[in-house]
Amino acid sequence: MTKADLVNEISHNTGLEKAAVLTIVEKLMEVVKDSMIAGNNVYLRGFGSFIIKTRKEKTARNISRNTAIKIPEHKIPAFKPSKVFMDAVGHSNS
């Protein structure tokens, strides 16, 4: 499902205009992104959490030059679904 599909589905189910729904969806994504950039996790009860994970420093290999390179510790955004969400996906008929 794309963002456009999401907007269409919400608009259809709520009766709100697509333009208003698009504004709300884009603002939600902006708020989540800005919060995570500021170092905060976002918790949506019954849905899941947008969390910041820290990847430890590691040594990797550049196979074209046959050299070892260090990848420094860094942070990545991640999504952790709630138990309710996981149970629903696990019991879906798809």
CATH topology for 3-90 is HU Protein; Chain A (4.10.520)
Q: Where are the domains of the chain?
A: 3-90
pLDDT tens for 44-91 read 999 999 999 999 999 999 888 889 999 999 999 999 999 999 999 987
Q: What is the pLDDT, as a whole number, of residue 90?
A: 85
Residue 85 corresponds to which tokens in the numbers above?
């969400």
> CA 24 → CA 3, 11, 47, 61, distances in Å?
12, 11, 18, 44
Q: Is the pTM of this model over 0.85?
A: no
